[in-house]
């Protein structure tokens, strides 16, 4: 099982964005570091504010600049630092992937031009106490989807 750790500053950035967005879905991309066997730490995200109450639509052009900056900061060490996947909110629903979410992630990971070995989808929402709750799922190019372990680092 893949383990995905959200750095404290990343969890805080997501929490603030969720509070500002209210009932609108928001999301972005996850970037981070390979820290151990099947273990990744998310250290950077993008926050795309475009979207609606019923669906989040990823616009890759919004993220390209941040992705390129991330790669420059990590000296283009793609074996250690890379794109990990996507995140978005389900403010009014349980934080689990819908069939549309599954199809979108499989499309990304099965696209040979992307060249991903996997992609993770994190779905989050604010808990009643205003803390962050969420799930993570990993998608493979062979069409397999599996639940992953999501850890909010303190």
pLDDT confidence band for 74 (50 / 70 / 90): low
Across the range 35-49, mean pLDDT stands at 90
- For residues 96 and 68, which has the higher predicted lDDT (pLDDT)? 96
Domains of the chain: which residue ranges?
3-152
pLDDT confidence band for 68 (50 / 70 / 90): low
Whether pTM exceeds 0.75:
yes
In this prediction, residue 114 carries a pLDDT of 78
Across the range 123-150, mean pLDDT stands at 96
Give the integer Cα–Cα distance in Å for 6 and 41: 6
Of 9-23, 38-52, 87-101, the one with minimum mean pLDDT is 38-52
What are the CB-based long-range contacts (under 8 Å, 24+) for 95-103?
A: 95/123, 95/124, 95/125, 95/133, 95/134, 95/135, 96/123, 96/135, 97/121, 97/123, 97/135, 97/137, 97/145, 100/55, 102/139, 102/145
The share of the chain scoring above pLDDT 70, in percent, equals 79
Q: Phi/psi of residue 64, each to 5°?
A: -55, -45
Q: How many CB atoms lie within 10 A of CB 109?
A: 23
In this prediction, residue 53 carries a pLDDT of 39
In this prediction, residue 66 carries a pLDDT of 62
In this prediction, residue 54 carries a pLDDT of 40
- List pLDDT tens digits, range 16-34: 999 999 999 999 989 899 9
Q: What is the mean pLDDT of the chain?
A: 85
Across the range 51-68, mean pLDDT stands at 51
3-152, superfamily in CATH?
Cytidine Deaminase, domain 2 (3.40.140.10)
């Amino acid at each position: 099982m893949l383990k995905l750790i959200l750095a404290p500053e990343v969890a805080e950035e997501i929490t603030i964005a969720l509070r500002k967005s209210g009932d609108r879905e928001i999301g972005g991309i996850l970037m981070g570091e390979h820290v151990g066997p099947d273990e990744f730490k998310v250290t950077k995200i993008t926050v795309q504010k475009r979207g609606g109450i019923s669906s989040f639509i990823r616009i890759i052009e919004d993220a390209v600049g941040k992705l390129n900056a991330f790669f420059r900061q990590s000296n283009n060490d793609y074996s250690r630092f890379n794109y990990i996947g996507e995140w978005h909110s389900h403010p009014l629903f349980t934080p689990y992937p819908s069939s549309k979410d599954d199809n979108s992630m499989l499309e990304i990971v099965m696209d040979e031009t992307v060249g991903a070995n996997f992609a993770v989808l994190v779905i989050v929402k604010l808990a009643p106490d205003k803390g962050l709750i969420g799930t993570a799922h990993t998608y493979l190019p062979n069409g397999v989807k599996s639940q992953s372990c999501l850890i909010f680092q303190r």
